Structure 1
Amino acid sequence: MKVLIVDDEKHVREAVRYFVPWEKHGIKDIYEATNGQEAIAIILEQQPAIVFTDMRMPLVDGAELLEWLHGHAPHTKTIVISGYQDFNYVKPAIVYGGMDYLLKPLNSRQLIEAAERAFQLWQEEKRERERVCRQNIQLNVLRPLYWDKVLSDLVSGNASFPELEVSLSAEFGMSRKADRCRVAVCSLQAGGCRLLQRFQGDVQLASFVLANVCNEIMAPHRSGYAFRCWQTGVDIAILSWDGVDKIEQQLHQMNESFQRVYGVQMEFGLSRVHAFPQGLQAAFEQARQGLSERNLLHKEGRIHLFREAARASGSEKDCAFQAPLEPLRIALLSGDPERMGRTVDEWAQHLSARTTLTEAGFNRLHEDLRSVFLRRNPEEEVHFELCYDEQGWFSLEGWREQLKAQLLRLTKESRLTQTPDSRLVLEIRDYLDQNYHQEMTLQHIAERFFVSRENISRKYKQVTEENLSDYLTRLRISKAKLLLQNTELRLAQIAELVGYEDEKYFSRVFKKATGQTPRDSRKG
């Protein structure tokens, strides 16, 4: 607490300083002023908790100071010290919340009691303000989560609009006369999760940030609201209830903002116009279908309107995936890497001749692939993904290579468990995966697994067709790339985190492996 004593008589100020036990209450900052004008300047700068003030002073008197305090520092506690019992002097103290009115000459006991009451009340009110502040912070944190859940339930048909109409109007300025709506949705999984890399894979944080950007664009018009959606396959949903004809323009503005700030653009599915609120659920489903049925080969726009014809022709599109599935099943069962590679190449060539490939079709394909492989090896963890280029467009070439690598890895790991040498190599590789950041020599590995250095090298190469040192280097460089792209750590720190004590040596290894220096890789 800070204290201010305001009186044009020096001996009164000294008396207040002398009698009040400041140390008992931990008060060290005590300021003085000779009139209300000086007091106001000190109050603005120091914000004292307690003000002792005289009533009759030059320039600005006590009554004017009390009135000013009431309007500009309402939490400050005031104690009036005056030599007058005239009601005209007492009245301001009553009107503007003075705690006590003490008459001169000062009675030390009364002064101390008045000061301690003021100290106690200020501390109690301070604790209450802090409690309310903490409560408000919690509410502000929870409020977006609450509305995310409510609006997710509303668009999915699990909440009643009439029960929410009043609160929606109060919270978002939703017009009670709104009778049309459109819904747009997007998924952070589209576009190769490039934005997620910027947020270290934190979907909730990335969704929160993107929703805020969307709302900054929509807020001036109070035409809609973007929220984190709790429904499967959708991370952000945008409900537009006013100016539905402008939603496409707003989506373009959002993507411009994403591009400017994060270097990415999002894929949006957009519904047709529906009656509000009756058509809200249908609009949400249309937006989801517009996103999942978008043509991945179409690279001329990020906003995908719902089209009934596209959904109706889904079975025809699936034929593009199903036709080569049987040859791939046979290739998988054979366990022959070359045969699998040829089959995937033929499949990719077959798909490249199509004019339409949808995300929904690929997702169904991946489920079929997963079931085929799990039928062969139920214990394997299988996960297939789409592949995107630097601009966030789907890459059939990338998907082909990714699929071949995934199938080869899974088949190789299936073979690796068949012999003692294979199991040993798997254990070594798992150890490297967990400890790549430590100093790692062939002798160290040999001693850990009780095998000679020569045997370790030979067996690892026989089983994996790769040198152990090459695998460790590739692993470390892969981890270094992630750190370069997603952190601001210094090169020396990154080198140490991936197992290189010498920054210069790390840079040489990195450039040899990637063709770029670490600094160039970070810039790119």
Structure 2
Amino acid sequence: MKAIIIDDEKHVREGILLLADWHYVGITEVLEATDGEEGIQLIKEHRPEIIFTDMSMPNKDGITLLKWIHSTGMDSKTIIISGYDDFRYMRSALFYGSFDYILKPIDRNLLNETLERAVHKWQEQDEDRRSLLEKNQVINEVKPLYWDRLFTGIIEQKDLSIETIKKVQKEFRLDIKNARCTLAILPVPWLLMKKFNGDRDVVFFALLNIVNEIVRSKNSGISFRNVNKEDEIIILLWNTPQTNFALEKIYDAIYQYIKMKCTIFKGDETTCVADSYRSASKVLQNYPLLAGEKKVVTTKEMNQKGNLHLLDYAQELKWALQRGSTDEMDVILQKLFEKLETSHNLSFEQLKIWENQFHLLRKNWLEEYDISGHAPIDQGWNFWEEDGTFSFEKFKEEKQKEFYDLMNLLEKVHYQKEKTSIQEIEAYLKEHYYLDIKLQDIAEHFFLSREYISRKFKQVYHVTITDYLANIRIEKSKVLLENPHLKIYDIAYEVGYKDEKYYSKVFKKINGQTPNEYRRDETRGRF
């Protein structure tokens, strides 16, 4: 804390400096001034909490100083030090809110008692000020949320409660039930979210500040966040004869600050805010994105063309996916893109229909391949330019990428399934090599066709099943041949051959020598 002593007599200033117990009350710095004029300059610069001042001084006296302190609304506590027991001075001190009045010569005990009470009172009031400030901050933070929720309720229902009507009337001087209003929707661009690292609160705060600075300057409107939509700011205008001009001004201001073109979609002027919102929503959903840049879109720009449905092309898309043909997929997608550009309306509604139906088809196709819980493919909202305008080229690239990714996923899973079934067959051969295994038996055991097993087994292991089984049997027999007490025909039977001569023929074909020759060489090498 700081204090200042304002007195034209040096010995008085020095006396207060010596007599006051500054450290005890928490004052760490004490300033000095010789008159009211110098005192005002130091008070402005240092903002002391405690002010000691004489009443009779040259230039600006104590009364002039008190008037100035009172006019500034400062929180300082002023203690008068005077050699005059003058009612005029006393009355002025009381009138301008001084804390106390001490007569010279100064009594040490009275000085410190007064100083301690002044500091305590300042601290007490400062605590109240801080508490009030915190309360106001909370109110200021909560207030916008309150109005966001209240106005969101207004745009969604025609019948408004008397309480809601009164609240709006009191806050905005607006008869929300009968006044003719125009409502517009400002969709928050996806790329703007990206610029602010996905912090929606910051994005909405920035946009709402820009809009409200324009519409609330003349009490002609309000903008608020539609709490039931992730990406909608609502602009409600009244007392605005040229609504298009006002909305274009908002568009320009947003572009000036964030360099992004945020098209605004205006509903009909009406006494029912909910009706105006519904008409604005229709304008937003049906506006043709290929129509080019537009600052404000009205019902006049709504396109009546129908929407394209991916479900109508489900079978064609599925065949291309199953064949794994990107060329075939490109032909189908190109046809769809041309239809979007010429026969249908590429709008926000169309984008939503495409996304919903793509996810439905994707879900069904994955289930056919028995794929569950797989990470979703990137859904592609990256078809916007940096300035916020729609890019048909980016849209086409993104949609193509989604189908390519799905095709690669299905092909990979299909291959893994095929590989897994063939691996199971290989394990089966290793475990049952000694049996008389026929291809038909394997097909029936694994519920697969003989042709498929033969083809896929050779693709994976590069040999036929017959040759693979023969290799397993011969390798097993080599281990048995190391035992000199076992007969050749016993070994042949043990590994699955009923005919000793056929076994020897197969063994020689694979190893280049007969079983006896192999045994002899192995035995000679060991001894």
Contact 2:308 2:340 in 1 (8 A): no
Do the aligned partners of residues 422 and 325 (structure 1) sit closer, same or farther apart at CA in structure 2, a change above 3 Å counting?
closer
Matched residue, 1:215: 212
Contact 1:270 1:290 in 2 (8 A): yes
Contact 1:331 1:340 in 2 (8 A): yes
Q: How does 1:295-444 map to 2 (within 5 A)?
A: 295-306=288-299, 310=303, 313=304, 317-319=306-308, 323-354=312-343, 356-377=345-366, 378-380=372-374, 381-382=376-377, 384-385=379-380, 387-390=383-386, 392-417=388-413
Contact 1:332 1:373 in 2 (8 A): no
Do the aligned partners of residues 260 and 9 (structure 1) sit closer, same or farther apart at CA in structure 2, a change above 3 Å counting?
closer
- Residue 132 of structure 1 and its aligned partner are, at CA, apart by 1.7
- Residue 422 of structure 1 and its aligned partner are, at CA, apart by 12
Deviations 1:150-176 (A, max 9, x none): 111111129836323443344445368
Alpha-carbon separation, structure 2, partners of 1:177 and 1:404: 49
Matched residue, 2:114: 114
Q: How does 1:2-41 map to 2 (within 5 A)?
A: 2-41=2-41
Matched residue, 1:480: none
The normalised TM-score by structure 2 is 0.71
Q: How does 1:83-122 map to 2 (within 5 A)?
A: 83-122=83-122
Matched residue, 1:503: none
- 2:233 corresponds, among 224, 232, 236, to 236
Alpha-carbon separation, structure 2, partners of 1:48 and 1:15: 19
- Paired residue secondary structure (2:265): strand
Do the aligned partners of residues 92 and 300 (structure 1) sit closer, same or farther apart at CA in structure 2, a change above 3 Å counting?
closer
- Residue 234 of structure 1 and its aligned partner are, at CA, apart by 4.5
- Residue 254 of structure 1 and its aligned partner are, at CA, apart by 1.8
- Residue 400 of structure 1 and its aligned partner are, at CA, apart by 2.1
Do the aligned partners of residues 58 and 297 (structure 1) sit closer, same or farther apart at CA in structure 2, a change above 3 Å counting?
closer
Alpha-carbon separation, structure 2, partners of 1:110 and 1:207: 58
Matched residue, 1:196: 193
- Residue 281 of structure 1 and its aligned partner are, at CA, apart by 0.7
**In the alignment, does 2:63 pair up with 1:63?**
yes
What letter matches 1:207 in structure 2? Answer: F
Alignment gaps of 5+ in structure 1: 424-524
Do the aligned partners of residues 333 and 301 (structure 1) sit closer, same or farther apart at CA in structure 2, a change above 3 Å counting?
same
What letter matches 2:192 in structure 1? Answer: L
Alpha-carbon separation, structure 2, partners of 1:342 and 1:177: 55
Contact 2:168 2:176 in 1 (8 A): no
- Paired residue secondary structure (1:271): strand
Alpha-carbon separation, structure 2, partners of 1:200 and 1:359: 24
Do the aligned partners of residues 51 and 9 (structure 1) sit closer, same or farther apart at CA in structure 2, a change above 3 Å counting?
same
Alpha-carbon separation, structure 2, partners of 1:10 and 1:22: 19
Do the aligned partners of residues 401 and 63 (structure 1) sit closer, same or farther apart at CA in structure 2, a change above 3 Å counting?
closer
Q: How does 1:30-179 map to 2 (within 5 A)?
A: 30-157=30-157, 160=160, 162-174=162-174, 179=179
Alpha-carbon separation, structure 2, partners of 1:417 and 1:72: 78
- Paired residue secondary structure (1:121): helix
Deviations 1:22-50 (A, max 9, x none): 12233232112232222222222222111
Matched residue, 1:430: none
Do the aligned partners of residues 6 and 383 (structure 1) sit closer, same or farther apart at CA in structure 2, a change above 3 Å counting?
same
- Paired residue secondary structure (2:188): coil
- Paired residue secondary structure (1:56): coil
Q: Considering only CA atoms, is the larger Rg found in Structure 1 or Structure 2?
A: 2
Deviations 1:189-225 (A, max 9, x none): 4xxx232232122233222211221122223332111
Alpha-carbon separation, structure 2, partners of 1:177 and 1:375: 49
Matched residue, 2:250: 254
**In the alignment, does 2:283 pair up with 1:290?**
yes
What letter matches 2:12 in structure 1? Answer: V
The normalised TM-score by structure 1 is 0.72
What letter matches 1:13 in structure 2? Answer: R
- Paired residue secondary structure (2:289): coil
Alpha-carbon separation, structure 2, partners of 1:391 and 1:273: 30
Alpha-carbon separation, structure 2, partners of 1:340 and 1:219: 53
- 2:266 corresponds, among 242, 247, 270, to 270
- Paired residue secondary structure (1:237): strand
- Residue 389 of structure 1 and its aligned partner are, at CA, apart by 3.9
What root-mean-square deviation, in Å, do the aligned CA atoms of Structure 1 and Structure 2 show? 2.8
Do the aligned partners of residues 258 and 160 (structure 1) sit closer, same or farther apart at CA in structure 2, a change above 3 Å counting?
same
- Residue 147 of structure 1 and its aligned partner are, at CA, apart by 1.5
Do the aligned partners of residues 237 and 103 (structure 1) sit closer, same or farther apart at CA in structure 2, a change above 3 Å counting?
same
Matched residue, 1:225: 222
- Paired residue secondary structure (1:388): coil
Alpha-carbon separation, structure 1, partners of 2:309 and 2:115: 86
What letter matches 1:89 in structure 2? Answer: Y
Contact 2:317 2:332 in 1 (8 A): yes
Alpha-carbon separation, structure 1, partners of 2:159 and 2:29: 57
- Residue 336 of structure 1 and its aligned partner are, at CA, apart by 3.9
How many residue pairs get aligned? The number is 412
What letter matches 1:263 in structure 2? Answer: K
What letter matches 2:117 in structure 1? Answer: R
Do the aligned partners of residues 138 and 403 (structure 1) sit closer, same or farther apart at CA in structure 2, a change above 3 Å counting?
same
What letter matches 1:2 in structure 2? Answer: K
- Residue 84 of structure 1 and its aligned partner are, at CA, apart by 2.6
Do the aligned partners of residues 99 and 394 (structure 1) sit closer, same or farther apart at CA in structure 2, a change above 3 Å counting?
closer
Contact 1:2 1:48 in 2 (8 A): yes
Contact 1:188 1:203 in 2 (8 A): no
- Paired residue secondary structure (1:317): coil
